[in-house]
Structure 1
């Protein structure tokens, strides 16, 4: 019995091997990058907005413009001072500082702002009548500063 002889080629040296090597190097990189991009587009906060978590100048400026808790509290108390009276605002300032000790370092400046606003709205004599020892009598110093 005679075997047919066909020309033998060296195994694995054809164009398929080059394509295979290229895919073996490129495919993992493509998969990692596409997975990373997919994760950054997921809304992890659970909100209904279609926000993209990829960093952009608009996102950074939006986060930077968010207001500090002491600024929010000061504005809320100033509105309360106008709507009700300085005594209520001072009581709520003391409660806010007691409930959130990190606001204690801002208490004096908020109380002074309330004192200045009280003088504008109620006049110096009536504003002084609401003074109480909240934040080391800073409300009274705000009233006194506005008087002169």
Structure 2
């Protein structure tokens, strides 16, 4: 007695079964990863200005109830003052101009930031060398800051 084996049925089921098993393994992984990425993009802070909160931002955020968010122009000023000390005033002035061009809302603070950079440059480099970095950024406010700190 010969056992009949239907090769067509067996052959037809093979690739479909392999594909099904692959999908059964891959699909949950994809869903978990996409859900994780979606949760990191949700604005959990309630602050509409910063709609994307990364894990690094969350770990660096001050969560105390008395914390006050700093204005963007204050953050930029502090960043540029640090850059002035680490590199030179020319680099800081270039980045100030780029920041104002990229974010026009900072233009109203450009004069005060450039003056602060000028005063800091006098403290770090002296009045003569600080003046050599002057550029026509924010209507020559850097030079005004140098002159004010020198007087």
Q: TM-score, normalised by structure 1?
A: 0.60
Spell out the pairing of 1:69-108 with structure 2 (5 A cutoff).
Answer: 69-108=72-111
Secondary structure of 2:77's aligned partner: helix
Pair 1:100–1:124, CA change in 2 (3 A): same
Aligned residue number for residue 110 of structure 1:
113
Any idea what the Cα deviations from partners look like across 1:45-93, whole Å, max 9, x if unmatched?
18777xxxxxxxx64x33xx11000000000000000000000000000
2:141 matches 1:141? no
Q: CA deviation at 1:103?
A: 0.2
**Where does the alignment leave 5 or more consecutive residues of structure 2 unmatched?**
1-41, 46-52, 59-63
Q: CA deviation at 1:44?
A: 6.2
Pick the aligned partner of 1:121 from 121, 124, 128. 124
- RMSD of equivalent CA atoms: 2.0
Moved over 3 A (4+): 46-49
Larger Rg: 1
How many residue pairs align between the two structures? Answer: 95
Distance 2:109 2:149 in 1: 19
Distance 2:121 2:129 in 1: 8
Aligned residue number for residue 45 of structure 1:
44
Q: TM-score, normalised by structure 2?
A: 0.59
Distance 1:82 1:111 in 2: 14
**Where does the alignment leave 5 or more consecutive residues of structure 1 unmatched?**
1-42, 50-57
Distance 1:146 1:79 in 2: 18
